[in-house]
């Protein structure tokens, strides 16, 4: 379509329509969250001409939202940190240790990546009840950690394969032990890849609903998503309040995305394509 | 690990010295040298390094996968289960609510061609040296990273009987299109499908754009010189070259709509009205919430069976896409 301005215009129109459709629900959340309930009832789609922080203030002071956010934060940080460490060690062993069974280990990881967590739910819940962890954050932390490991192993293995083997060999011939090589040679080269992995895993944990809903049924122990799902039913007549909660849940991810979009794209499309 | 290191270094040095010696004498490695090298390969540390990961996976996947199969043959409480053989499975298959749930998963499959087709169209336009391609792509991909819970809540308000969408349609005198999107037993699952498309569309766009970008420019150039029009360039030259990637993404999206849609359904309709928009995951959750663990386990095993077939196909598609 060289030079055909009509074609260009059609292309831009198409993309703009798609982008508006992608952004409208976000605008709806933001604009509703800063309306008073009365203003929203009168005109749900209108521009927030009298913006108020009332709903946002109310979820922070009258509702356990800060607590839920803190829970989500703790759960995300600990499960992502532990699973990433485990995967760093395992992927390093797969690529540079070549132990017996490394192929089986790797293909098992790839297969487990797509196992739907709902199928694991019932036995895991029984286990958590038996071990007294239900309604404690540890229950979701240990489960999430295990669920995150297969993708992390797959992702880091793919990355480590691009690290020149000679570097590692040179270091070990000079007498460096495997852990030293991992820490001094491989890890410094893997900063961007590890960061990408951490981002992807973090948004998975932050966004997870089903397991949090089942394992954390106590008001104080909920994660943000499980709490929000509760909010929806409890404050059905105060939608600005509910959407203020939604805004708080979305905001950190949007900010991260704006800061480092390429990490999101690279991480979330890993394993599809080359 | 640490105390094994000096020994390993010693061994390495010895092998190195022997190799040097062998080269100096113009000989190949001695028989003993080869044996030593083999022994070096069978070092312990890699096993220690994978152990935590293997343990975590055994705990989060291995144990529950074995246990869920066992539980599917029992009824009753955790403390005193009663063996019932295949009764849970029979009960599930005879349950019209389960059949509705399964049918809804199948209906959601229709979202896959929509996502793939629309995603491909967007990627082709973005690939056409358009100004602002990066910005467009960033916006289209944004929904994919957002929490489905928060987005689903917003959609549930937008799609209510007297929600934003219907109000807008009525104001535009398009009353004919104003429906009870969430309360109608026919439309509720369609609305779920719409939400899935809205959130997952960006994945296809990004994957296809990357695949198109990786193509060698010469075939497209040759086609242009031969006078191929815009449409035939896209459909006859570019799309066929990324077909393996399209296939792989289609399989991944099929797995998604079959077994990863709980959040969308739970937040948007809770499976309602009644069971009209339930899916297998929600059926498992509902059975489990009412204490019917055996039933929940039986459906989990069935879902796992179906997912395994899809996972097998995905592994095959992945290999094809990577080798192509």
Write the pLDDT tens digit of every residue in A116-138.
999 999 999 999 999 999 999 99
Tell me the per-residue pLDDT of A224-263, one tens digit each, with 9 for 90 and over.
999 999 888 888 888 999 999 999 999 999 999 998 888 8
d(CA A92, CA A172): 14
Closest CB from B54, B245, B307 relative to A273: B245
Q: What residue in B sits closest to A18 (Cα-Cα)? A: B140
Chain A interface disruption, residue of B43, B60, B155, B308, most A CBs within 10 A = B60
Is-contact B49 B41, C-beta < 8 A?
Answer: no
Average predicted confidence (pLDDT) for chain B: 85
Assess whether pLDDT exceeds 90 at residue B76. Answer: no
CB B288 to CB A121 under 8 A?
A: yes
Residue B35: Cβ within 10 Å count: 11
Number of domains chain A is built from? 2
Domain end (from A42, A57, A72): A57
Q: Do A178 and B49 touch (CB under 8 A)?
A: yes
Residues A148 and A15 in one domain: no
A253 in Cβ contact with B190 (< 8 Å): no
For residue B182, give the nearest of B96, B274, B103, B257 by alpha carbon. Answer: B274
CA A21 → CA A25, A247, B139, B143, B251, distances in Å? 8, 18, 10, 10, 25
Neighbours of B78 (CB within 10 A): 15
Q: Does one domain contain both A213 and A88?
A: yes
Interface test with A, best of B4, B9, B50 (most A CBs within 10 A): B50
- Could you tell me the two tokens for B236? 């006859």
Residues A179 and A70 in one domain: yes
Asked if A44 and B78 come within 8 Å (Cβ–Cβ), the reply is no
> Cβ of B49 and A15 within 8 Å?
no
What interhelical angle do A137-160 and B45-57 show, nearest 10?
130
What pLDDT sits at residue B12?
53
Find all residues with CB under 8 Å of A19, minimum gap 6, and list them: B136, B139, B140
Q: Is residue A145 part of a domain?
A: yes
For tokens 């122990």, the residue is A221
Residue A273 in tokens: 């394509």
Whether residue B17 is predicted with pLDDT greater than 60 in this model: the reply is: no
Of B12, B149, B157, the CB nearest to A225: B149
Q: Are residues A178 and A207 in the same domain?
A: yes
User: How far, in Å, CA of A22 to CA of B139, rounded?
Assistant: 7
How many Å apart are CA A20 and CA A14, to the nearest integer? Answer: 10
What is the domain range of residue B59? 2-86
* Cα–Cα distance measured from residue B228 to residue B207, given in angstroms and rounded to the nearest whole number: 25
Considering chain A, what is the average pLDDT of its residues?
90
Does a structural domain hold residue A161? yes
Q: State how far the Cα of B293 lies from the Cα of A91, in Å rounded to an integer.
A: 37
Give, in order, the Cα–Cα distances in Å from A161 to each of A112, A147, A158, B307: 21, 23, 5, 29
Asked if B169 and B47 sit in the same domain, the reply is no
Question: Which residue, of B86, B110, B136, is where some domain finishes?
Answer: B86
One domain, residues B53 and B169: no
The Cα A110–Cα A103 span in angstroms is: 11
A5 sits in which H/E element? helix A5-33
The pLDDT value recorded for residue B29 is 45
In the DSSP assignment, the letter for residue B273 is S
B42 close to A203: Cβ distance less than 8 angstroms: no
Contact A109, B57 (CB under 8 A): yes
Judge whether residue B18 has pLDDT over 60.
no
CA distance A258 to A265: 12
Closest CA to A11 of B296, B263, B292, B230: B230
Q: Could you tell me the pLDDT band of residue B24, with boundaries at 50, 70 and 90?
A: very low
The CA-atom distances, in angstroms, between B41 and each of A68, A107, A231, B19, B35 are: 49, 22, 57, 16, 10
Rounded-to-integer distance, Cα B256 and Cα A166, Å: 40
CA B100 to chain centre: 23
Residues from chain A that touch B210, judged by Cβ atoms under 8 A, are 269, 273
Highest mean pLDDT among A163-167, B80-84, B287-291, B298-302: B298-302
Which chain A residue lies closest to B53 (C-alpha atoms)?
A: A86
Tokens 């990881």 found at: A109
Cβ contact, residue pair A116, B304, below 8 Å = yes
The helix-helix angle for B187-213 and B133-145 (nearest 10°) equals 140
At residue B15 the predicted structure's pLDDT band, cuts being 50, 70 and 90, is: low
pLDDT recorded at residue A4: 59
CATH of the domain at B150: 1.10.3720.10
Q: How many domains does chain B have?
A: 2
Q: Is the ipTM of this complex over 0.95?
A: no
Neighbour tally for A200: CB within 10 Å: 22
At residue B215, does pLDDT exceed 60? yes
Closest partner CB to A268 (pick from B43, B144, B158): B144
Q: Are residues B40 and B118 in the same domain?
A: no
The answer as to whether A247 is a domain residue is no
CA gap A141, A215 in Å, rounded:
10
Q: CATH number, domain at A98?
A: 1.10.3720.10
- Regarding whether B185 and B118 lie in a shared domain, the answer is yes
The verdict on a CB contact (< 8 Å) between A246 and B150 is yes
Helix axes A65-92, A137-160, angle to 10 degrees: 40
- Could you tell me if B113 and B61 lie in one domain? no
Q: What are the pLDDT digits (tens) for B217-266?
A: 888 888 888 888 888 888 888 999 999 899 989 988 998 898 899 999 99
A187 inside domain: yes
**CB pair distance less than 8 Å for A118 and B262:** yes
Q: How many CB atoms neighbour CB B134 within 10 A?
A: 12
Rounded Cα gap, residues B310 and B256, in angstroms: 10
Does A72 lie in the same domain as A52?
A: no
Q: Could you report the per-residue pLDDT of B26-75, keeping only the tens digit for each?
A: 444 444 444 444 445 568 899 999 999 999 999 999 999 999 999 999 98
Residues A217 and A84 in one domain: yes
Please, which residues have CB within 8 angstroms of residue A59's CB and are 6 or more apart in sequence? A65, A241, A244, A245, A248
What was the pLDDT predicted at B2? 36
pLDDT, one tens digit per residue, over B139-155 is 999 999 999 999 999 99
Assess whether pLDDT exceeds 80 at residue B176. no
Pick B122's closest partner by Cβ from A18, A109, A112: A18
Same domain? For A39 and A137 the reply is: no
B73 in the same domain as B34: yes
Mean local confidence (pLDDT), A177-189? 88
* Cα gap B210→B264, rounded to integer Å: 28
Does residue A43 sit in the same domain as residue A102? Answer: no
> Do residues A111 and A228 share a domain?
yes
Q: Read off the pTM.
A: 0.87
Is residue A251 in a domain?
A: no
Position A170 confidence tier, pLDDT thresholds 50, 70, 90: confident
Contacting residues of B for A142, CB less than 8 Å apart: 59-60
Whether residues B31 and B179 fall in one domain: no
Residues B148 and B189 in one domain: yes
Residue A78 lies in domain: 64-234
**Residue A103 shares a structural domain with residue A36:** no
């Amino acid at each position: 379509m060289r030079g055909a301005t009509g074609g260009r215009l059609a292309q831009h129109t198409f993309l703009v329509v798609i982008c508006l459709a992608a952004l409208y629900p976000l605008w709806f959340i933001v604009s509703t969250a800063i309306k008073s309930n009365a203003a929203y009832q009168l005109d749900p789609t209108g521009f927030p001409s009298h913006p108020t922080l009332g709903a946002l203030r109310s979820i922070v002071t009258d509702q356990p939202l800060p607590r839920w956010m803190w829970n989500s934060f703790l759960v995300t940080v600990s499960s992502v940190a532990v699973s990433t460490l485990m995967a760093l060690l395992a992927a390093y062993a797969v690529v540079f240790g070549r132990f017996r069974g490394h192929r089986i280990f790797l293909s098992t990881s790839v297969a487990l990546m797509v196992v739907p967590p709902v199928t694991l739910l019932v036995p895991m819940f029984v286990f958590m009840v038996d071990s007294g962890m239900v309604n404690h954050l540890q229950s979701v932390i240990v489960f999430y950690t295990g669920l995150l490991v297969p993708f992390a192993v797959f992702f880091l293995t793919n990355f480590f394969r691009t690290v020149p083997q000679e570097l590692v060999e040179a270091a070990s011939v000079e007498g460096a032990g495997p852990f030293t090589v991992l820490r001094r040679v491989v890890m410094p080269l893997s900063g961007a890849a590890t960061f990408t992995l951490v981002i992807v895993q973090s948004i998975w944990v932050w966004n997870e609903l089903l397991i949090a809903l089942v394992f954390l049924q106590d008001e104080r122990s909920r994660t943000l998503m499980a709490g929000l799902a509760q909010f929806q039913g409890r404050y059905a007549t105060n939608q600005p309040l509910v959407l203020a909660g939604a805004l708080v849940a979305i905001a950190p991810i949007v900010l991260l995305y704006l800061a480092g979009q390429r990490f999101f794209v690279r991480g979330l499309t890993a394993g599809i394509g080359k | 690990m640490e105390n094994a290191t000096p020994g390993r270094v010693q061994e390495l040095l010895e092998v190195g010295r022997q190799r040097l010696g062998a080269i100096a004498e113009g000989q190949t490695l001695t028989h003993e040298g080869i044996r030593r090298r083999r022994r070096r390969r069978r070092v312990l540390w890699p096993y220690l390094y994978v152990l935590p990961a293997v343990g975590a996976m055994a705990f989060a996947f291995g144990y529950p996968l074995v246990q869920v199969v066992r539980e599917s043959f029992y009824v009753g409480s955790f403390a005193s289960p009663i063996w019932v053989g295949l009764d849970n499975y029979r009960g599930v298959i005879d349950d019209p609510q389960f059949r509705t749930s399964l049918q809804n998963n199948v209906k959601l499959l229709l979202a896959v061609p929509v996502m793939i087709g629309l995603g491909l169209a967007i990627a082709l336009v973005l690939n056409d040296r358009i100004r602002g391609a990066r910005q467009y792509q960033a916006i289209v991909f944004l929904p994919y990273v957002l929490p489905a819970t928060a987005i689903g809540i917003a959609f549930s308000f937008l799609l209510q009987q007297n929600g934003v969408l219907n109000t807008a349609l009525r104001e535009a005198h398009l009353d004919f299109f104003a429906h009870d999107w969430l309360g109608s037993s026919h439309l509720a699952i369609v609305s779920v499908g719409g939400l899935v498309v809205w959130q997952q569309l960006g994945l296809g766009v990004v994957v296809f754009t990357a695949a198109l970008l990786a193509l060698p420019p010469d075939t497209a150039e040759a086609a242009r010189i031969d006078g191929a029009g815009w449409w035939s360039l896209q459909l006859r030259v570019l799309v066929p070259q990324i077909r393996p990637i399209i296939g792989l993404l289609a399989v991944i999206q099929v797995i998604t709509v079959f077994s990863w849609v709980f959040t969308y359904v739970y937040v948007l309709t809770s499976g309602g009205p009644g069971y009209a928009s339930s899916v297998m995951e929600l059926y498992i959750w509902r059975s489990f919430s009412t204490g019917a663990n055996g039933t929940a386990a039986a459906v989990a095993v069935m879902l796992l069976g179906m997912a395994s077939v899809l996972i097998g196909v995905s592994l095959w598609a992945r290999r094809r896409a990577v080798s192509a």
